[in-house]
Amino acid sequence: MRNRLQSLRIAVLATDGVEESEFGEPVAAFKEEGAEVSLVSPKPGSIAAWKNGNWSRSISVDIRLEKADASDFDALILPGGVINPDRLRMIPAAVEFVKAFQEEGKCIAAICHGPWLLAEADLVRGRTVTSWPSLKTDLRNAGANWVDQAVVEDGNIITSRKPDDIPMFNARVTEALERSLAGKT
């Protein structure tokens, strides 16, 4: 453990259908850096991940969405998969949870289809973002400047395209969180 993110708390908002790699790899990386990472979900107990077009492993939920408070966390991760963010954007409490991070100026990082939640929360208007290519029109219609880049950081929002970009996504989120830690000292 390198402890670069020691004392930071990160919420990962997800439900059934979360892309396994986009959940598991960032969680492992941020834990390795010393952060406390919690799965926040509207579903109690556990959620089912998605991998290669099939349901895969079960992931234990740490905090029910209804009990989660953005002020208890330093950052929010929105993993993709098509199913996960499509379900979450239809849940008003999930959209409000995302908005709360924005209101507090905290880091919000979304990968693949995760930016659907940013659009639903009206957080992409006037920002440069990236995503899985099929969201390009949705994000542009929501007022974003969509670009095809591995990782884009615009203010407190970090977006990334796909599983292949996870190492760059993790690095950029870690850098942003290190900057926020430096600002606290």
Every domain of the chain and the residues it spans: 9-179
- Structure tokens, 40: 């926040």
Instruction: Return d(Cα 148, Cα 117) in angstroms, integer.
Output: 19
What pLDDT digit, counting tens, does each position of 56-105 carry? 999 999 999 999 999 999 999 999 999 999 999 999 999 999 999 999 99
Using a 10 angstrom Cβ sphere, with 0-12 exposed, 13-18 middle and 19 or more buried, the burial of residue 66 is: exposed
Q: What is the DSSP string of 35-100?
A: -EEEEEESSSSEEEEEETTEEEEEEE-SEEGGG--GGG-SEEEE---SHHHHHHTT-HHHHHHHHH
φ, ψ dihedrals at 51, nearest 5°: -150, 125
pLDDT at 99: 98
pLDDT at 180: 85
Q: Is the CATH code 3.40.50.880 the one for domain 9-179? A: yes
* Closest among 4, 10, 19, 30 to 85, alpha carbons compared: 19
What pLDDT digit, counting tens, does each position of 148-171 carry? 999 999 999 999 999 999 999 999
Give just the sign of the alpha carbon dihedral 80, 84, 90, 92: negative
Beta bridge partners of 54: 51
pLDDT at 25: 97
- Structure tokens, 52: 């290669």
pLDDT at 47: 98
pLDDT at 110: 98
Average pLDDT, the chain: 96
What pLDDT digit, counting tens, does each position of 3-46 carry? 888 889 999 999 999 999 999 999 999 999 999 999 999 999 99
| 173 DSSP 8-state letter | H
Q: What order of strands is seen across the sheet that includes strand 18-19?
A: 18-19, 46-51, 54-60
**Residues acting as catalytic residues:** 112-113
pLDDT at 185: 52
What pLDDT digit, counting tens, does each position of 105-152 carry? 999 999 999 999 999 999 999 999 999 999 999 999 999 999 999 999
- Structure tokens, 75: 């950052």
